[in-house]
Structure 1
Amino acid sequence: MSYTFHVDLRGIVDLLSHHLYASPRVYVRELMQNAVDAITARRVGDPGAPGAIHIYPPESTGDGTLRVEDTGIGLTEAQVHELLATIGRSSKRDDLGFARHEFLGQFGIGLLSCFLVADEIRVRTRAAGGPTVEWIGYGDGRYELHVAPAERDRPEQGTTVTLVPRRGAEHWLGRDTVVEIASLYGSLLPIPVQVDHEAITTGLAPWENDPAEPAGARRERLDAYSQEVFGFSPFDVIDLAVPAAGLRGVAFVLPMPANPTSRVAHRVYLKQMLLSEDIERLLPEWAFFVRCVVDTTELRPTASREALYEDALLDEVRDALGDTLRGWMTRLGRTDPRGLQAFLRVHHLGVKALAVHDDEMLRLVEQWWPFETNMGPLTLAEFRERHGVVRYTPSVDEFRQLAAVAAAQGIAVVNAGYVYDAELVSRLPDVDSDIVTEILTASDLATRLEPLDPDVELAVRPFLVLAQRTLDRLGVQVLVRAFEPASMPALHLLDGDTALAVDLRQGQEQADELWSSILGTFTQGRDERPQLVFNHRNPLVRQAISTGDDELTTLAIEGLYVQALLLGHQPLRPADTAALNQSFLGLLARAMEGTR
């Protein structure tokens, strides 16, 4: 046995008018949408038909009501039943004889938004060759329908909607409020709109190009629009177009850095009626450095017409707009290198985020964005041209450790420790197979330092044994090498893998038995330790090697070890601080003894 649903009309009205829309102000938009649709439908058969929308607030009507008049197609009695009294009916094609996608909204559901501010909605409408029909809807779900008496007959084809405000909502119908809302949603409509005889529709839309308007004047107009709407004067303005979605618009490039994680919203119009000022996900996530205003004829709005429906077409639009922004950056590099460099100084994070996955943007970054290197700021293209192999460190700490010593040995290295940089450098061979990249680790640098002659190595062995015994408790491996600069007595080397092994061993020592055994599985068979490399070319180190006083040499070894930590920007552990104190106080005591 089958049954038919019983619908509580009052509940449906409450649902649509109080829970579908985010704010009562949308009622003005819905009334204008219905009027525009009616005029559009009339002009199909009569292109020369008049097109105008007049809104009269209570200050004009004098009876507390708000009235909206249009010169549209009007409705017959049957169409009123179908469109205003059948909730869920979504087609205008058959009833008005016009393609569905040409319309902004839906008469029935859109009109119900007026119950946000009204207890009673009166519709007087007249189709061509027919009588004037009156429909009165009430907030409790009732409606009346009849042919209007002669005294309320409309003299011309079209529709008049009158709202009787609900108690407490009168301010939503006031003149100033209606002017503000109508200007927000309808200022760019192709059909003139007036509120109390004041024109709401304005001049050219931002996406419009007037052949008679000079390029400089258009840029001034768009700069002024951006300042008014978004609050900034743009770095540049980019024209947007996606014909498949009937989309046209402009993107305003922010003149200041933007947070990549911040929420990015754009201003979107549907057939020149504002859909929302707060549309997200119109652009790819990496394009957080622009704010857009666009108009579309084909993208689908949600039921409330306050957001865009996520579908394949929106995905296509998102990709196409991303391609447009990439093309703009590429053209800027060809035609205005200084402008591109200025743009990158502000928005390099967004460009680098894109370059992680986009070869064209990676080429742009390689060519134009200066990286920090131990040879000074250089683009990757300049670095490769001068030094061949692109050696880099994947962390800032490693770069700080190695930069000066590597430079003194003639080894150029890029600091790729900032966000996205290591990924970008490692991807360079993807865009050019001739490019060679190489990570420079602390261990690699140690192998590049000059070893000692055999006789010198034999002479420093007692010092090396003493230094290793002194620093064993601090978990450090000691080497003696000769390297530049000679002014640096010791170099502390710690790469990422060694740092991880050290942290695991420290965690194992501090954890309980269970966790200690678990961490032990990761450290078993591994004995990586940081390296402390004494510089045999440094006069102080040679003096410590030859002093013949083990106590004094031990104090010097501890002091030089801590100094190397500080030069490498390494944190001091409690044991390191104790070694520093012991060395400082011991050396101070020895110095004081010499004054007796």
Structure 2
Amino acid sequence: MEGNPAQLRTAGVDLGGLMTVLGQHLYSTPLVALRELVQNANDSIVRRRLEDPAAPTAPRITVVGDISARTVRVIDTGTGLTESEIHTYLATVGVGYTRGLRQGQAASEELIGMFGLGFLSAFVIAERVTVTTTSFQQPDRGWRYQSSNGEQYSLAAAPAREIGTVVELALREEHARLAGEDYLARVLGRYCALLRVPIYIGDAAEPLNPEPPPWRGDSDSVSEHPVQARKRQLRFASRFEQQFEPICAMPVPALAGESDPRGLLWVQDGGTYGNSDNRNLSVFVRGMLLDDDARDLLPGWAGFVGGVIESSRLMPTASREDLQRNEAYRSAQHAIAESLIGGLAAVAREQPEAWRRILNRHNEALLGAALCDARLFELLAEEVRVPSSHGDLRASALRREGAIHVGLSTGGFEDMLFRMLGVPVARGDRYAVLPFLRQWVQRHGGRLIEIGTEQGNRQLFTELGLPDAELDWLRETLADGEKVVPARFAPAELPLMVVPDREAELKRRLESDEADKRISMTALRLVRGFTAGIDGSAQARLYVNLDNPAMRALLATMRADRAAAEPAARLLKAIKQLMETHNDADGHGHRLNGALAAIGDSVLRLLPAAAGQAGD
């Protein structure tokens, strides 16, 4: 009815449905349950150190598996739980003691839990969970919690035990393998490698996380010789790099001097190409592995880099299997990139042998990396090699008489031209070569001649004019659809040269029907705005060399007697076609056969005696 006030009601919660979503669908793998339980044990130990003056000086977490009984027990020497804490924290979804404890505590960077959800993961792998606990606040009392689904539970008094907690999982049949202690050691050795509290598997005498990471300095590491420090870093990197041997390691942060993130990066000893992406980065938040494929924290150009970092500022998602893309995340990306750039420069200065290996393994990838940062370009400009017709050369070795030549394809007259001139031609069709050389010339001077572009052709060929009648005759006798351009160019021994118009090829490719299907309308308008200024009427230019004696003689003969000039013109055209078959992408043998036949016929016509015999 009109005028009735709105009623305030409380939304209902289907706890069973919520438990199903949280307990079975929040995590991508059941292995996470083991991590979450060890995390809870760690936080309980940290809490006890903060709150209990009598806390043990040598805390520990023990994980015991019994594959025959299909059970896993996680035992800690932490605070334990009182009856009220079991109801308030253990049995209430979304409420965790750690979150409140973190506020204002000096040890907050060691506390891992945040959401009060981790205990639910136990029900993903267990058909029954039993918690036996004695609190340091009531050392003479014990409690036993038991639940098969996390929704209903029983709680009963139990004999007091050593202060701390035992969480026992009666595993579901499909997860029975988790009870194997070798399996537990592998899984927890990966997840808990940086945890400060020692973790023991079964009766093992040594913890699975015995060695602190290199960036957690102690009095011994401060006075450590640099060579020993590098060996220790490489040993640590080898534990995490699954595919390659690390060549060298670089600390994070190498330059920024900040405490977060901290870690280690390394260069992999595996060859890469420009499009290779072997990045791998393991991220630990407060000592616990959250993401072992956080490659997006590494720069996109660093396809040959692996790393491990830990942070107290990166924020996990609720599942604790990914990181929130917030300001701390972006700050970490920047710190890692800075550390990597500074680290590579340090390796170049201090470890020449390792630097040579890096250049040898990752030359092509480094060509692209140099374009991403001015400091990288300065570091690499005279080090990386550019693929060329004369092999892989440094950019300075490509420069001849102030010019660097770069081709956008291979074969045909382009190769012949530069072989005759003795000039190396950079392979502009290879990854990052063209933009690298453009930037190199801008910084170091000289000219970049891009063969097949209008600007590059103007630098190679001095265009000249001919009477229309002579130009028409050359087009009729020599061309196969190319635009005929009279010119002077070196070497004079080369009578003619076909240069494909790379800009026309680009125009045709971008404006094709297939491009319409792949490109959005907005992008297509921009593309066509760019290509509108390109003359795509001819796919190639046929440069006729007026410095060549044979070409001058051909034109002189044509002016006097066109019929007498035609055999020589046919011979030149056949030679042109023969050279073009080197780039015949379709592999059509008829072009080669036709060119060879035309050469034979032209020779016969040029030799009077042979012509007479042919007429008999």
**TM-score bracket for this pair, using the shorter chain length:** 0.7 to 0.9
The change in CA–CA distance for 1:404 and 1:326 in structure 2 (over 3 A counts) is farther
Distance in 2 (alpha carbons) for counterparts of 1:310 and 1:174:
36
1:324 Cα offset (Å): 1.2
Aligned to 1:371: 386
CA distance in 2, matches of 1:88, 1:68: 22
Residue number among 254, 258, 262 corresponding to 2:268 in the alignment: 254
Measure the CA separation in 1 of the matches of 2:358 and 2:534: 50
What does residue range 353-368 of structure 1 map to in structure 2 within 5 Å? 353-368=368-383
What does residue 293 of structure 1 align with? 308
- 2:144 corresponds to 1:134: yes
Establish whether residue 560 from structure 1 lines up as the match of residue 578 from structure 2.
no
Q: Which residue of 1 aligns with 2:361?
A: 346
Aligned counterparts of 2:512 and 2:476: Cα–Cα separation in 1: 20
Q: Kindly state the Cα deviation for residue 435 of structure 1 after the two structures are TM-superposed.
A: 3.4
Q: CA deviation at 1:578?
A: 8.2
Structure 1 564/24 Cα, relative in aligned 2: closer, same or farther at 3 Å? closer
Q: In structure 1, the residue corresponding to 2:145 is in which secondary structure? A: strand
Match in the other structure for 1:468: 475
1:418 pairs with 2:425? no
- The answer to whether the 8 A contact 1:396-1:418 is kept is no
- Partner of residue 516, structure 2: none
Q: Is the 8 A contact 1:83 1:107 kept in 2?
A: no
2:11 aligns with one of 5, 13, 16: 5
- C-alpha separation between the residues in 1 aligned to 2:187 and 2:213? 19
CA distance in 2, matches of 1:574, 1:184: 59
Tell me which of 366, 381, 396 is aligned to 2:409: 396
Instruction: Tell me which amino acid in the other structure corresponds to 1:363.
Output: E
8 Å CA contact 2:96–2:113 kept in 1: the answer is no
Q: 2:321 aligns with which of 297, 300, 306?
A: 306
* 2:518 aligned residue: none
* Cα distance change, pair 104–480 in 1 and its aligned pair in 2 (3 A): closer
Change (3 A) 1:478 1:567: farther
Correspondence for 1:512:
none
Contact 1:121 1:162 in 2 (8 A): yes
Superimposed CA distance per residue, residues 314-346 of structure 1 (whole angstroms, 9 cap, x where no aligned partner): 111111111111112223444456654542332
Does 1:236 pair with 2:244?
A: no
* CA spacing shift, 1:215–1:400, aligned 2, 3 Å: farther
1:114-513 to structure 2, matched below 5 A, reads 114-130=122-138, 131-139=141-149, 141-146=151-156, 148-149=157-158, 152-154=159-161, 156-198=162-204, 199-208=206-215, 210-211=220-221, 215-229=226-240, 230-241=242-253, 244=258, 246-258=260-272, 260=275, 262=277, 264-335=279-350, 339-372=354-387, 378-381=393-396, 387-388=401-402, 390-393=403-406, 395-397=408-410, 401-402=413-414, 405=417, 415-428=427-440, 432=443, 435=445, 437-441=447-451, 445=457, 466-471=473-478, 474-479=481-486, 481=488, 483-484=490-491, 486=493, 488-499=494-505
Name whichever of 36-45 and 268-277 sits farther off: 268-277
Q: CA deviation at 1:166?
A: 3.3
Deviation at 1:58, TM superposition (A): 2.9
Deviation of residue 243 (structure 1)? Answer: 6.4
Q: Provide the secondary structure at the position in 1 that maps to 2:377.
A: helix
Give CA deviations for 1:121-158 in whole Å, capped at 9, x if unaligned: 22222222323233222316101234x24xx222x322
1:41 to 15, 35, 47: 47
3-state secondary structure, aligned to 2:144:
strand
Unaligned runs of 5+ in 2: 1-6, 514-527
d(CA) in 2 for partners of 1:506, 1:240? 48
Contact 1:394–1:415 (Cα < 8 Å) also in 2: yes
Gap change, CA 1:96 and 1:312, over 3 Å in 2: closer
**Structure 1 residues 573 and 95: CA distance shift in structure 2, 3 A:** closer
Rounded to whole Å, the distance in 2 between the matches of 1:78 and 1:573 is 86
- Which whole-Å deviations, capped at 9, do the CAs of 1:422-456 have from their partners, x for residues lacking one? 223333577x4x7354444556546755789x9xx
Question: In 2 relative to 1, CA 529–383 (structure 1 residues): closer, same or farther, beyond 3 Å?
Answer: closer
Contact 2:72–2:168 (Cα < 8 Å) also in 1: yes
Aligned-pair RMSD on alpha carbons?
Answer: 4.2
Cα distance in structure 2, aligned partners of 1:331 and 1:527 = 53
Q: Deviations over 1:515-550 (max 9, x none)?
A: xxx99x969997557433344665655665577624
On the 8 A contact 2:604/2:611 being kept in 1, the answer is: yes
Unpaired runs of 5+ in structure 1? 508-517
TM-score by length of 2: 0.78
With 117-126 and 474-483 compared, the bigger mean Cα shift is at 474-483
Partner Cα distance (2:547, 2:584) in 1? 23
Residues 120 and 136 in structure 1, CA contact (< 8 A), matched pair in contact too: yes
Q: Deviations over 1:456-494 (max 9, x none)?
A: x99xx99766333224563431526463252x3322233
Give the 3 Å change call, closer, same or farther, for CA 537–381 of structure 1 in structure 2: closer
Shift of 1:116: 1.6
| Contact 2:244/2:270 (8 A) holds in 1 | no
- Structure 2: how far apart are the matches of 1:197 and 1:422? 61
Contact 1:477 1:529 in 2 (8 A): no
Change (3 A) 1:392 1:316: farther
8 Å contact kept, 2:91–2:150: no
Contact kept in structure 2, 1:532 and 1:561, CA below 8 Å? no
Secondary structure of 1:34's aligned partner: helix
Report deviation, 1:52.
1.4
| Structure 1 position 576, deviation (Å) | 5.9
Tell me, what secondary structure is at the counterpart of 1:295?
strand
Is the 2:237–2:266 Cα contact (8 Å) retained in structure 1? yes
Q: Given the superposition, is the C-alpha separation of residues 500 and 193 from structure 1 closer, same or farther in structure 2, using an over 3 Å criterion?
A: closer
Specify whether residues 43 and 535 from structure 1 end up closer, same or farther in structure 2 by C-alpha distance, changes over 3 A only: same
User: How far did 1:37 drift?
Assistant: 0.5
CA contact 1:104–1:271 (8 Å) conserved in 2: yes
Q: Contact 1:245 / 1:313 at 8 angstroms: preserved in 2?
A: no
The normalised TM-score by structure 1 is 0.80
Q: Whole-Å Cα distance in 2 between the matches of residues 170 and 273 of structure 1? A: 24
SS at match of 2:74: strand
2:305 and 2:508 mapped to 1: Cα distance? 45
Among 78, 81, 92, the alignment partner of 1:86 is 92
